[in-house]
């Protein structure tokens, strides 16, 4: 079932760094889908080992794929996981 969900939402073709950033954002957002800062995502244990450039490429890719969104009123630094993708 999890693999099916990964295919449905396009998670199966994410790179390792993109998946780490996405899962870190999801973990920090919690069940309510709270907004999280870029710094908090990068400090999370899943993403903290990524080089700065790799982290930002992964974040940009997740935004362009629509898996992450900028929080209302922000162009950068504050992000939300799409509410239909929040893993409980």
Read off the pTM.
0.84
- Strands, DSSP E only, in 1-88? 36-37, 68-70, 78-81
**What DSSP letter does each residue of 44-64 carry, written as one string?**
STTTTTS-HHHHHHHHHHHHH
Per residue in 29-61, pLDDT (tens digit) is 887 778 999 999 999 999 999 999 999 999 999
Give the chain's domains with CATH numbers: 2-82 (1.10.10.10)
| Token pair in block for residue 36 | 């999280």
Q: What local confidence, expressed as pLDDT, does residue 15 receive?
A: 93
Q: How confident is the model at residue 5 (pLDDT cuts 50, 70, 90)?
A: low
């Amino acid at each position: 079932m999890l693999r099916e969900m990964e295919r449905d939402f396009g998670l199966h073709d994410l790179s390792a760094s993109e998946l780490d950033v996405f899962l870190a954002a999801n973990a920090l957002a919690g069940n309510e889908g709270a907004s999280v800062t870029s710094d908090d995502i990068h400090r999370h244990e899943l993403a903290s080992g990524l080089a700065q450039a790799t982290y930002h490429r992964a974040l940009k890719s997740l935004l362009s794929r629509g898996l992450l969104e900028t929080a209302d009123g922000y162009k950068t630094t504050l992000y939300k996981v799409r509410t239909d993708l929040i893993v409980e």
